[in-house]
Amino acid sequence: MFRVQKIESFDQPELQPYRTMRRQQEHRDQGIFVAEGEKVVRRLLESKFIVVSLLLPEQWLPEYEPLLKTRSEEIQVFVAEKALLETLTGFSMYQGLLAVGKIPARTLLAEILPGLAKPNLFAAADGLTSAENLGVLVRNCAAFNVQALLVGETSGSPFLRRAVRSSMGSIFQLPVIESSNLVESLRELRRQGIRRIAAHPHFQGKTLSQTDFTGDCCILFGSEGYGISPAALATCDEAVAIPMPPAVDSLNVGSAAAVFLYEVNRQREKMG
């Protein structure tokens, strides 16, 4: 169900989220997020997330009508000239598609654990403040069969606009647990018999290929600048490094996550 309205300005109250796209934390506080780009908007419409509105050039409307007709909620569809849409960003928009969705209710670890297939595979983020890096981590998790991502209180929100964009809409497929106390969440995993493995570039112990990932586990990733906090690291069963030359300090968290999660999947596929 949807209603179409052509606009010539962004004065309407319903368009406020688009006028304030750069105030990402404000959106987070309102329980909404902005999706941008053809693939991301399409994946939002294909998801179970609640969609509030769309903003797009009129020529894109026929492309999206079949998807819009499948939605049960009432969606406001605003159409505008591309030149007007570009005033929102200040630069040329190749596609000019935007949408506002609602952030789902907070998921608790205890709610999802019973229904997950074994062996469990979780990832956790500690201190990731870059929205782009967090979005890439979400995308890697979705690509490599992670069942849920735990995001700690010192990390940014995966529903910030830049994180949603960097995830390429994978955020709509991956269960995310935004923890108010990551250390306690990691301890809860321990109580459930799930090993916590720190991706730690400066550790001189096990390397990736020497580590067994075939059982239930959660891989903890930290920020490039500061790594994993001592408190979070202390909850882990072991710290594991990707072997690299001494001259290379670390990998971007997205690259490190791809390497780690690929190895997890490789080992589990060998199990048959």
Bridge-based pairing state of the strands 98-102 and 32-36:
antiparallel
2-102, CATH topology level: 60s Ribosomal Protein L30; Chain: A; (3.30.1330)
CATH architecture for residues 109-270: 3-Layer(aba) Sandwich (3.40)
Pick 138 or 200 by higher pLDDT.
Answer: 138
CB atoms < 10 A from the CB of 117, how many? 8
Per-residue pLDDT tens over the stretch 87-138: 776 544 556 789 999 999 988 888 999 999 999 999 999 999 999 999 999 9
Q: Where in the chain is the domain with CATH 3.30.1330.30?
A: 2-102
Contact between 4 and 61 under an 8 Å Cβ cutoff? The reply is yes
What residue ranges of the chain are covered by domains with CATH 3.40.1280.10? 109-270
Q: Give, rounded to a whole angstrom, the gap between the first and last alpha carbons of the chain.
A: 45
Lowest-confidence pick of 55-69, 107-121, 202-216, 217-231: 202-216
Q: How far is CA 179 from the centre of its chain?
A: 14
What average pLDDT does the chain have? 92
**What span, in angstroms and rounded, lies between the C-alpha atoms of 39 and 44?**
9
pLDDT at 135: 97
Lowest average pLDDT, out of 3-7, 56-60, 63-67, 164-168, goes to 56-60
**Residue type (1 letter), 263:** E
pLDDT score at 226:
81
For residue range 152-189, what is the model confidence (pLDDT) as tens digits? 999 999 999 999 999 999 999 999 999 999 999 999 99
Across 14-18, 214-218, 261-265, least confident range: 14-18
Confidence of residue 234 (pLDDT cuts 50, 70, 90): very high
* H, E, C per residue of the chain: CEEEEECCCCCCHHHHHHHCCCCHHHHHHHCEEEEECHHHHHHHHHCCCCEEEEEECHHHHHHHHHHHHCCCCCEEEEECCHHHHHHHHCCCCCCCCEEEEECCCCCCHHHHHHHCCCCCEEEEEECCCCHHHHHHHHHHHHHCCCCEEEECCCCCCCCCHHHHHHCCCHHHCCCEEECCCHHHHHHHHHHCCCEEEEECCCCCCEEHHHCCCCCCEEEEEEECCCECCHHHHHCCCEEEECCCCCCCCCCCHHHHHHHHHHHHHHHHHHCC
The answer to whether 152 and 196 are in contact (CB under 8 A) is no
pLDDT computed for residue 86 by the predictor:
78
pLDDT above 80: residue 7: yes
What's the pLDDT score for residue 95?
66
Six token digits for residue 231: 């408190």
Strand order in the sheet with 98-102: 2-6, 75-79, 51-56, 98-102, 32-36
